[in-house]
Structure 1
C-alpha cells in the first residue's frame, strides 16, 4: 500500500503542481502584454486561460499533501524533521497561492476585462487616468511575479527535501 500511495503522491504532484507553477509564471508577462494592448482579444484569452489553469490545478493539488500525509503515515516518518519542514513549507506555499497569487491574478484579469479597447487613443484627462491605471497594473504584475516566484521557490524546496530527505537513512 505504501508504494501505491507514494506513486500516487508523486504523480499528483507532477500533474497538479507542475501546471500551476508554469501557468502562474507565465501569467504576469502575459497580463502585461494584454494590458499594453487592451484591444487584443487573444491576449486577454491567454490571461484568462492561464488563470483558469492555476485555479483548477490548485484545486486538484489539494490531493498532493493528502496523499503525502497518508504515505508518510504508512512509512512511519511523520515525525522526521525533513517531512515536518516539508509539510510546513507546503502549507506556506498553499497560503501564498491562495492568498497572494490567485487573488492578484483575478484582480488583473478583472482590470483587463474592464479596460476599454483603444483607451490610449483618447485625449485629455482620460489619457492621464489610463496612464495611471497602466502604471498601477504594471506594479501589480511585478508584485504578482514576486509572489509567484516565492510560491515556485517553496515548491522547489519541498521537492528537494522529498528527494534528499536529510537525516534519513535512505537520504542522499
Structure 2
C-alpha cells in the first residue's frame, strides 16, 4: 500500500502541479495588454484564456496531491515529523496563493488589460508559487528531521 500511495503522490504531483506551474508561468507572456501599451509581441488573448482555464482546473485537481501525501504520511507513521508539517504549510501557502491571488489576477488581466504592471506582479507571484513547490519537493527528498 505504501509504494502505491508513494507512486500516486509523485505521479499526481507531476501530472497536476506541473501543468499549473507551466501554465501560470506562461500566462503573463500571452495575456493581452491595454491598447497603446507598447509592443504586443506574441500576445494572444485566446491562448491566455486557455492557460487561465488550465491553471484553474488543474489547480483544483491538484488538491489530490496533498491529500494523498497526508494519507501516505499516515501509513508511514510520519504525520508528526517536522518536515511533513513544513511541507504541508508550504503547500497550503502555495495553494492559497494560486486560489486567492494568481487565478483571480489572471481573470482580471483577461477582463481588463492594463499597461503590463499587473502581469509583472503576476509573474512575481507565479515565481513565488513555483519556488514554494520546489521547496516542498526538496523537503520530500531531503526529509530533514525524519526518524
Matches within 5 A, 1:133-144: 134-135=114-115, 138-144=116-122
Give the deviation of 1:37 after TM superposition.
Answer: 6.9
Which residue number corresponds to residue 162 of structure 1?
Answer: 140
Matched, 1:107 2:108: yes
Q: Which residue of 2 is the match for residue 79 of structure 1? A: 80
Give the secondary-structure state (helix, strand or coil) at the position aligned to 2:18: helix
Instruction: Give me the whole-angstrom Cα distance separating, in 1, the residues matched to 2:6 and 2:130.
Output: 22
> In the superposition, relative to structure 1, how do residues 19 and 37 fare at CA in structure 2: closer, same or farther (>3 Å)?
farther
Cα deviation, 1:117-150, whole Å, max 9, x if unaligned, reads xxxxxxxxxxxxxxxxx43xx1100111111111
4+ residue stretches of structure 1 with deviation over 4 A? 36-40
Aligned partner of residue 78 in structure 1, secondary structure: coil
> Which structure has the highest helix share of the two?
1
Q: Distance in 1 between matches of 2:140 and 2:146?
A: 10
TM-fit CA distance, 1:57: 0.6
Structure 1 residue 167: Cα displacement: 2.3
Cα separation, partners in 2 of 1:30 and 1:37, compared to 1, 3 Å: farther
Matched, 1:22 2:56: no
Quote the Cα distance in structure 1 between the aligned partners of 2:110 and 2:143: 39
Given the two structures, how large is their TM-score scaled by the length of structure 2?
0.91
Counterpart-to-counterpart distance in 2, 1:56 and 1:95: 15
Find the counterpart in structure 2 of residue 46 from structure 1. 47
Counterparts of 2:58 and 2:3, CA distance in 1: 24
Which position in structure 1 is the counterpart of 2:33?
35
The counterpart of 1:153, out of the listed 131, 135, 140, is 131
- Which residue does the alignment assign to 2:5? 5
- For normalisation by structure 1, the TM-score amounts to 0.78
Cα shift at 1:111: 1.5
SS in 1 for 2:112: helix
Q: Which runs of 5+ in 1 are unaligned?
A: 113-133
Q: After superposition, what is the alpha-carbon deviation per residue over 1:56-103, rounded to whole angstroms, capped at 9, x for unaligned?
A: 110110100100000000000001111110000000000000011000
- The answer for unaligned runs of 5 or more in structure 2 is none
